Amino acid sequence: MMQNHDKHYFKEDDKLNGLFVFLRRLHQFNGVAELFDALKENLPNVVSFSSLKLVIPSFLDRSWFFDNACEVSEEKSAQEIGNVQAGVGLLGRAYVTRAAVNWKNTDLSDKVRFILVIPLIYKEKAWGVLALENGLPDAFSNEDVTLMNILGSNIGLYFEEQSSRSELDVYTQQLHKLHVLIRSLLLTHNRDHLLEGMLGYLKSVIPNSACVVYLLEEDPAGTTKMERLAWYGEDVIPMPDNELVLKSAHSRTPLTEYSGMGLQLRHVSPISFQSRIVGVVDLYKPLGIQPKELKMYQLLIDYVSSLWVLYDLIVKKEEEASIDPLTGLWNRRYMFRRFQEEAERIARYSGNVCVVIGDMGDFKHINDSYGHSKGDEVLVKVAKTFKKCLRFSDSVGRYGGDEFIMLLPNASKADVEIVLGRIKTELDQLKIKSGDENNSIVDVVLDFGVAAFPGEAPTLMDSINLADEYMYAKKAARKKSLLEVI
């Protein structure tokens, strides 16, 4: 009796030793394929089986299926993984219930007599299942189930550890990319470069997403204007919720939009520094924004917010030296710099722009008839009209004595004609008094030429000359019609 007990003890001791040996090696395995090969080699020392399956629905951004009994096609692999995820069959039941399934086949003609399916669990998360089939007369014992459950929990811990390590590696790489980006942005103070770097970073760390950056500005009446500056994934993002964007801006807090299933689809975050709000970023991901992605997103926004304000301060200093002292419009030098920046923007993001040249008709007559001070008054009021009618992303400058130049990004010629119509209506309502003995109304007439780029000129700078030609053609046509009337 004693001899039989000793024999049984050493038999079970071999199983335990086999399990301990495997568990000591478990965290040295490099990936799922190496783990499965080790299971095929070492599990026979722990439990008897005729075939082995390993199904992992999701690990390191892909699914895995192994079967040592046959060659696995992509179709079979996809079907097995789908069944497990849906809770179909013995493997699916073990995965969904997170409990071992020890099944006996009553069909004696079948080669498979017994199946033991063990869920691979860490805490409440099931990473996959391990299935053992046995064609031998001996069923899987309760002790086999216990040992396999111990193995399953350790493999679950292995997947958790590997996944966390991979996420940490990715997070470290993303942080490194962010630091490289910030260092490069500190070498420039171009807001287009800031937007380009920000969107490029977000696109790389949050795949399958779309993002839009808006610029916000309040007009004198207190109405908030909002304009889209830059974006990616326009074919993915639905129409932006302007109410959500404005609410985020006014509250200075990030806001979130969820799907009916609880997925975080949209995250709207203000670009603000201290009490100043300059813009809003609208991030959208149809498959749901993950917490780790949101963490990197918000970290980037915090960096961008301070840099944006810093850039604005630098640009403001530059702009002070770029303003025409009489009209308050940009001077010629600044406008040519804006043309260069816009050409670079179109080269990077594509898009279009319209150039407008405006020339005051009979301005010499105003100076000669009413004096240069009256001429200056007319120029100032015309300049204010331009500012009132243009968008805040548009630029208008004094091109010469009585000539003006405008730059309207992302506007068609039809859009520009609407704007020019509004300007002409405003000019008709100026009612500037001449100040002479008759105190008559000074006629304010402007001739405009509009050229679109790309499309009408090989370069943006060439479009200036083309707009100038169009303007002189309209001026000539206007004067000809006046002579015909006379």
Give the count of beta carbons closer than 10 Å to the beta carbon of residue 60. Answer: 13
Best-predicted range by mean pLDDT (8-12, 189-193, 316-320) = 189-193
d(CA 102, CA 90) in angstroms, rounded, equals 9
d(CA 128, CA 94) in angstroms, rounded, equals 9
Taking only the tens place, the pLDDT of each residue in 45-70 is 999 999 999 999 999 878 999 999 88
Write down all domains in the chain, each with its CATH number in brackets: 2-166 (3.30.450.40), 188-319 (3.30.450.40), 326-485 (3.30.70.270)
Average pLDDT value for residue range 457-468:
92
Backbone Cα Rg of the chain: 36
pLDDT at 1: 38
d(CA 349, CA 236) in angstroms, rounded, equals 17
Long-range contacts (CB closer than 8 Å, 24 or more residues apart) made by 285-294: 285/206, 285/208, 285/209, 285/210, 286/208, 286/236, 287/208, 287/263, 288/259, 288/263, 288/264, 289/206, 289/209, 289/264, 289/265, 292/167, 292/171, 293/205, 293/206, 294/264, 294/267
Q: Is-above-0.75 flag for pTM?
A: no
Total residue count of the chain as it appears in this document: 486
pLDDT at 240: 66
- Yes or no: say if 305 and 291 are a contact pair by the CB < 8 Å rule: no
d(CA 169, CA 263) in angstroms, rounded, equals 25
Mean pLDDT check: name the lowest of 183-197, 212-226, 423-437, 450-464.
212-226
The token duo for 214 is 């808006």
Kindly state the helix (H) or strand (E) to which residue 191 belongs, with its residue range.
helix 191-205
* 95, pLDDT greater than 90: yes
d(CA 331, CA 319) in angstroms, rounded, equals 10
Among candidate residues 391, 393, 392, 390, the one with its CA nearest the CA of residue 382: 390
Residue 242, CB-side half-sphere exposure with 13 Å CA sphere: 7
Average pLDDT value for residue range 130-140:
86
d(CA 177, CA 296) in angstroms, rounded, equals 11
pLDDT at 109: 64
* 11, pLDDT greater than 50: no
Mean pLDDT check: name the lowest of 83-97, 181-195, 201-215.
181-195
pLDDT band (50, 70, 90) for residue 9: very low
Mean pLDDT check: name the lowest of 45-49, 79-83, 104-108, 427-431.
104-108
* 383, pLDDT greater than 80: yes
d(CA 8, CA 166) in angstroms, rounded, equals 43
Alpha carbon 465 to its chain's center: 38
- Yes or no: say if 447 and 474 are a contact pair by the CB < 8 Å rule: yes
Average pLDDT value for residue range 145-172:
90
Residue 210's DSSP bridge partners are 284
Of residues 11 and 46, which shows the higher confidence score?
46
Task: Compute the Cα dihedral for 78, 82, 85, 87 and give only its sign.
Answer: negative
Taking only the tens place, the pLDDT of each residue in 239-279 is 767 788 888 888 889 999 998 888 899 999 999 887 788 88
